[in-house]
Amino acid sequence: MLRNTSLFAALIGIGVSALPADNATAYFNGLQSSLINNGLSGLWNAIVVANHTDSGPGLINKLYSDDRFTIYAPLNSAWDNSGLSQPPANGDLVSLLSYHIVKATLNSSTDIAPIRHHTIAFTELRSPTVDLPGDQTQVIVLETAVNSTTGDNANNGDVLVRGDSWNATSLGDQFVYENLFIQPIDKPSPLLKTLAQSGLAISANLGATSALSTISSTGLNETLSQDCYGCTFFIPVNSAFAAASASTNYSSLLQDDQRNILLNHVLNGSTVYSPDMSSGNAYITSAGMPLVYLTNEGKSFISVGKFRASILRSDIPVSNGVVHLIDTLMVVPQNNHQKADDAASSASSEAHARTTTTNVVGIGGITAPATRTSSAATSTPTQSQSFAKKSNGINAIWKMAMVTFVLGELWI
């Protein structure tokens, strides 16, 4: 067990009184009791183990603050079933914990989008796992659970965390400890899978293998997985490629034309989640052609040229952006390189001003508030600036040292 008594003694010696040890001890003792009493001792154990890593204290330090967080907390059985009952003290554990923490208050009964809509919550997970613009972090996708009998909203506070081909489900009531809203969920392992994705990684059982094969055969792997920085991918499912080959001369097109077709399904530098989209929104694709988002009778579409595609599944997080699955390959080989370059340059400039100070998009299914800069730059302060304003003058270094000392004494 690590003990930081010498550092603690040094703090006392120089008269740091803003955060007495009793306050930190009381906070984390209370958190330990609250988690254990609610069947979450596995999470507490993971927190303590993470505190003995290089980056863990920085994450844990944020909890002991004036900010509010929502934690999607795997139950003990979830840690056991994932082989993580005794997690390793490394950066991967810190990333896993970061992916369960949102810097916002999300009430499971009132703030989660209804079925067929999504609430996008920005977690505390940053690089090197994530390659998104500006200060944006990786997201979790939340949706109200479905009543298995009626098929309607469950309306009992049950929540789904959506992945590419998996759901994590809330189990038990959400509870509050100090500044933390804590929602127990049934598994962390799918979140591990998402963390392991590199670039445009899409599960084969989503039926998107034809798209991945074509991306590879046309030499776009590196372009879309490494050079596309915070992008939106509209990926046609396998049946869309089969239909295009049967009804058009797609398969006989030159490779350059096929590349343009694929690039007309990508927005370069703009990570656009479903709550960001409003009917009539227009974008420029990576091939330089206009792409328009439309809605009709509760269904969502995109169009390029004369083609219109239905969005079958939205908001699949990947490390460098977001994937929306569509039902039609839009066979538009035309390009406008100047427009594509201008759009990419504009997106790159906007990325430097993007923030996640709002931290949630689509609360209760409502379109994102204007303060979040998903598609345009604003003068909203960055997340680090906002955090500094909330610190009440307390030096974060001393605060982190105190947290490290207190948690260094705790183990279960």
Verify that 121 and 229 share a domain, yes or no.
no
Tally the C-alpha atoms within 13 A of residue 180's C-alpha that lie toward its C-beta: 21
Verify that 123 and 187 share a domain, yes or no.
yes
Three-state SS at 255: helix
Verify that 180 and 39 share a domain, yes or no.
yes
Tokens of 297: 């009778």
What is the C-alpha to C-alpha distance for residues 186 and 171, in angstroms, rounded to an integer?
Answer: 6
Q: Strand (E) positions, 84-131?
A: 101-102, 119-122
Residue where one domain finishes, among candidates 309, 333, 351: 351
* Residue type, position 237, single letter: V
Give per-residue burial for 169-208: e unless 16+ CB within 10 Å, then b.
ebbbebbebeebbbbbbbbbbbbbebbebebbbbeeebbb
Tokens of 99: 């992916």
Verify that 365 and 295 share a domain, yes or no.
no
Phi then psi dihedrals of residue 29, to 5 deg: -65, -40
pLDDT at 247: 82
Verify that 248 and 336 share a domain, yes or no.
yes
Residue where one domain finishes, among candidates 351, 384, 399: 351
Domain that holds residue 232: 204-351
Tokens of 133: 């613009």
* Residue type, position 161, single letter: V
Question: Around Cβ 20, how many Cβ atoms within 10 Å?
Answer: 13
Phi then psi dihedrals of residue 168, to 5 deg: -100, 140
Closest by CA to 268, choosing from 198, 193, 200, is 200
Three-state SS at 55: coil
Residue where one domain finishes, among candidates 351, 367, 382: 351
Task: List the 307-318 sheet strands across, edge first.
Answer: 266-267, 231-236, 321-326, 307-318, 299-304, 290-296, 282-284
Give me the average pLDDT of each 10-residue run along the chain (412 residues): 36 37 82 96 95 92 92 92 86 91 92 90 84 83 79 74 82 94 83 57 69 89 82 92 86 90 92 92 94 92 96 89 93 92 78 64 59 29 27 42 46 38
Residues constituting the chain: 412
What is the C-alpha to C-alpha distance for residues 57 and 399, in angstroms, rounded to an integer?
Answer: 10
pLDDT at 357: 53
Listed in sequence order, the residues at least 6 apart from 39 whose beta carbon sits closer than 8 Å to its beta carbon are: 75, 76, 172, 184
pLDDT at 52: 92
Which long-range CB contacts under 8 A does 26-30 form with residues at least 24 apart?
27/64, 27/178, 28/64, 28/403, 28/406, 28/407, 28/410, 29/410, 30/177, 30/178
Closest by CA to 49, choosing from 79, 16, 11, is 79
Phi then psi dihedrals of residue 85, to 5 deg: -65, -30
* Residue type, position 30, single letter: G
- CB–CB of 334/304 below 8 Å? no
Verify that 308 and 321 share a domain, yes or no.
yes
Verify that 274 and 383 share a domain, yes or no.
no
Verify that 246 and 314 share a domain, yes or no.
yes
What is the C-alpha to C-alpha distance for residues 140 and 122, in angstroms, rounded to an integer?
Answer: 7
Closest by CA to 124, choosing from 75, 71, 166, is 71
Residue 133 region by backbone torsions, left for phi larger than 0, else alpha for psi between -120 and 50, else beta = beta
Verify that 333 and 290 share a domain, yes or no.
yes
Verify that 375 and 344 share a domain, yes or no.
no
Q: Is 150 exposed, middle or buried (0-12, 13-18, 19+ CB in 10 A)?
A: exposed
Number of domains forming the structure of the chain = 2
* pTM across the whole model: 0.81
pLDDT at 261: 95
Verify that 317 and 401 share a domain, yes or no.
no
Task: Give the CATH number of the domain where residue 252 resides.
Answer: 2.30.180.10
Verify that 343 and 365 share a domain, yes or no.
no
